[in-house]
Amino acid sequence: MSSFSRSKMYLRLMFGRRMYSSKGAAQDITEVTKKISKILMSCPKLGLDTVLEQNGIRASPEVVEEVLKKFENAGTLAYTFFEWADRQRHYEHTVKAYHYMIESVAKVRQYQIMWDLVNSMRKKGLLNIETFCIIMRRYARAQKVEEAVYTFNVMEKYDVPPNLAAFNGLLSALCKSKNVRKAQEIFDAMKHQFVPDSKTYSILLEGWGRAPNLPKARELFREMERAGCEPDIVTYGIMVDTLCKACRVEEAVDIIKEMTCRGIWPTSFIYSVLIHTYGLDNRIEDAIETFLEMERNGVEADVAAYNALISAFCKVNRLQNVYRVLNEMHSKQVKPNSRTCNIILGSLISREDTDEAFKVFRKMIHICEPDADTYTMMIKMFCGRDDLEMALKVWKYMKIKQFVPSMHTFSVLIEGLCGKGDVSEACVLMEEMLERGIRPGRHTFGKLRQLLLKEGRQDVLEFLSKKMNLLVKEPLWD
């Protein structure tokens, strides 16, 4: 090929790429993401590469990030797509794409793949503090405390020296997974190496608040002040939340008075905590008054504040007030979220008002995007009232909406099918779950195993057991 021909081809390639990236870029990303999502939802992993190629799919960083974000619960299916994208010409994974993928495989405990991804990032010089913070969080959530600590200690080996942000990341991961004692032990041992800031103390305060251990939280708050680290609005918010969780709402109000004296004004979060606490205590009038006080003080109610008020009304079974709050949200252009929907559904289901719950579900899905908890709640509700047909309809709707089910969603439906003796459908779902690299819980697999043995289907049980054994084992380290 002549140099002229090569130049011509290069210009055509560059021109085509420019056209693709500039003309209706946002729409292109949305459309391509939808197309890939449809393929991922319907295509087996083994034939995925071929189908993507046949559909003329082109990998771009924006599209890959969107797909991985959407398929965060898809485990190894998402990884198959990730590997396909990596093999495409003129494409390189972004740091964000790697982070989405690490989060996704760690969620289904595919730790070997997770560390392979880390090593790949290392070769490309893409590793950063956030990479290791994600891994620490995922290990801690799986109650693999030693592995979370190991991840922090091994950062130096990967040429990412740990700093205060990483230290805070480790403490946060441990505190959020109810390992605050371990976090405190690490803090006491290393606070001279990483000089703590208000965020460090806030993380530990929140951990002791969740424990709950109010004396320890108070002690830490005093230590923070002695260390010359001024409490900020986040710290005060955590102290208010801690006191409210310990049923010391009047003391929480005193803290709010103290902070206002220092010129720090309560946020929507602080008001939300108070409203929620009054709701739990059936002090509905106090909840309403706090909400009105927030508005009088010029603090705009966000969705969290409205959710707290809705929760308070649900607690005292004042459904009409709940609907009035939803109307007010609409008039003030505050969009409900999945949490809004889940609060209302949870309340109705606990009162066994399942018909009203289904009405709310059908209405809310047009207003806000349901999350995994929403679908799981509805499927569990229909299974509970022996309406497997409706449970499967919700499941199918979820798939049509290209929402990837979580482990809990799979488990609820499989157990519901086992309860009705529908072993064939339960096995199909179990196989799909395993195909996605999601390891079922012992209770779920145990129920299906019992049913298969009862029906003399040892062959199917052996097939599913082999599939389970094919899942990547869980190495402690890389």
Tokens found for residue 56: 């003329």
Cα 370 from chain centroid (whole Å): 13
pLDDT, mean of residues 92-101:
96
Residue 439 lies in a domain: yes
Residue 426 lies in a domain: yes
Using alpha carbons, list the distances in angstroms from residue 118 to 189, 317, 374. 28, 50, 33
Identify residue 44 by its one-letter amino acid code: P
422-472 confidence digits (pLDDT tens): 999 999 999 888 887 788 888 999 999 999 999 899 998 898 888 887 765
Question: Do 78 and 438 touch, CB atoms closer than 8 A?
Answer: no
Residue 97 lies in a domain: yes
Tokens 């001279």 belong to residue:
192
Residue 21 DSSP SS3: helix
What is the model's pTM? Answer: 0.75
Point out the domain boundary residue: 127, 157, 192: 127
Residue 101 lies in a domain: yes
Distance CA 182, CA 140 (A): 11
Domain that includes residue 465, residue range: 405-478
Average pLDDT of the chain, as a whole number:
89
Residue 246 lies in a domain: no
Residue 162 lies in a domain: no
383-392 confidence digits (pLDDT tens): 999 999 999 9
Point out the domain boundary residue: 127, 151, 180: 127
Predicted pLDDT of residue 403: 85
Question: Is residue 478 pLDDT above 90, yes or no?
Answer: no
Predicted pLDDT of residue 426: 93
Predicted pLDDT of residue 44: 66
Distance CA 90, CA 79 (A): 19
Point out the domain boundary residue: 93, 127, 161: 127
Identify residue 263 by its one-letter amino acid code: G
Q: How confident is the model at residue 145 (pLDDT cuts 50, 70, 90)?
A: very high
The domain tally of the chain equals 2
Residue 196 lies in a domain: no
Predicted pLDDT of residue 21: 43
Residue 202 lies in a domain: no
Tokens found for residue 467: 């599939």
Q: Which residue, among 196, 243, 247, has the nearest Cα to 224 in the 3D structure? A: 196
Question: Is residue 20 pLDDT above 60, yes or no?
Answer: no
Predicted pLDDT of residue 6: 44
